[in-house]
A and B are shown apart, each in its own frame.
Chain A
Amino acid sequence: AQSVTQPDIHITVSEGASLELRCNYSYGATPYLFWYVQSPGQGLQLLLKYFSGDTLVQGIKGFEAEFKRSQSSFNLRKPSVHWSDAAEYFCAVGAPNDYKLSFGAGTTVTVRA
């Protein structure tokens, strides 16, 4: 069975500072990995995804993530956060071509001025 762990429940970062959100997954083979962002009371928006190939993935809004098989990780990064990046971030894992995703518990990001 697949699972996802997001170790950080809440992160506070200053505007303009860098951000890194951790994600560790458990899956027997190479999984499909996703990062989604959710604003309060809204659905989820896909930031980026990894299926295969280059392990450094670029997404929308200046986000990137790196797949590290040896560490079973898929951490999300942004060099300089904006106040609008305050939201809930979810890492998700799925089996190839299955799309029954398992989500992590989420990390709440607060951006201070």
Chain B
Amino acid sequence: GAVVSQHPSWVICKSGTSVKIECRSLDFQATTMFWYRQFPKQSLMLMATSNEGSKATYEQGVEKDKFLINHASLTLSTLTVTSAHPEDSSFYICSAREPGQGNSPLHFGNGTRLTVT
């Protein structure tokens, strides 16, 4: 079945540095990917929709200069947390849908645990 891969699985960084998270669709091309954020014991909150070849669409309240999204190819979207602070510590999950598959559901990556010290 379709697989979405995220890298890294976990990352620890110092406050003020930037961190890049990759999301890859391994056996299908994804024109659209989604980035979610999940706080401990809470649900997933959609951050942005990543569109191949165009700008990402951010949800209300999400700082686009803080969370840079690039979808340069049909199999790769990246999320860069810029000038990270401890409050950015969270679990970030990406998802993608196989295009042209009618009502195919979203496939999720295994997530990235970000800890900012």
- Once bound together, how far apart are the Cα atoms of A34 and B107, in whole Å? 12
> Which residue of the partner chain, among B32, B42, B44, contacts A99 with CB atoms under 8 Å?
B32
Is the pair A45, B46 in contact by a Cβ cutoff of 8 Å? no
Is the pair B43, A43 in contact by a Cβ cutoff of 8 Å? no
Q: Is B97 an interface residue when CB atoms closer than 8 A count as contact?
A: yes
- Once bound together, how far apart are the Cα atoms of A32 and B49, in whole Å? 18
Interface size class of B (residues with CB under 8 A): 20 to 34
Q: Which residues of chain A are within 8 angstroms of B113 by Cβ–Cβ distance?
A: 41
Q: Which residues of chain A are within 8 angstroms of B108 by Cβ–Cβ distance?
A: 36, 43-45
Within 8 A of A (CB), among B38-67: 42-46, 49
Is the pair B97, A99 in contact by a Cβ cutoff of 8 Å? yes
> Which residue of the partner chain, among A43, A103, A106, contacts B109 with CB atoms under 8 Å?
A43
Given A41-B111, A41-B113, A42-B111, A34-B105 contact (CB < 8 Å)? yes
> Which residue of the partner chain, among B34, B49, B105, B109, contacts A46 with CB atoms under 8 Å?
B105
Given A103-B43, A103-B44, A49-B109 contact (CB < 8 Å)? no
Is the pair A42, B43 in contact by a Cβ cutoff of 8 Å? no
- Once bound together, how far apart are the Cα atoms of A97 and B109, in whole Å? 21
Q: Is A63 an interface residue when CB atoms closer than 8 A count as contact?
A: no
Is the pair B103, A43 in contact by a Cβ cutoff of 8 Å? no
Contact with B along A69-113 (1 / 0, CB 8 A): 000000000000000000000100000010111111110000000
Residues on B lying within 8 angstroms of A by beta carbon are 4, 6, 32, 34, 42-46, 49, 91, 93, 95, 97, 103, 105-111, 113
Residues on A lying within 8 angstroms of B by beta carbon are 32, 34, 36, 41-46, 49, 51, 90, 97, 99-106
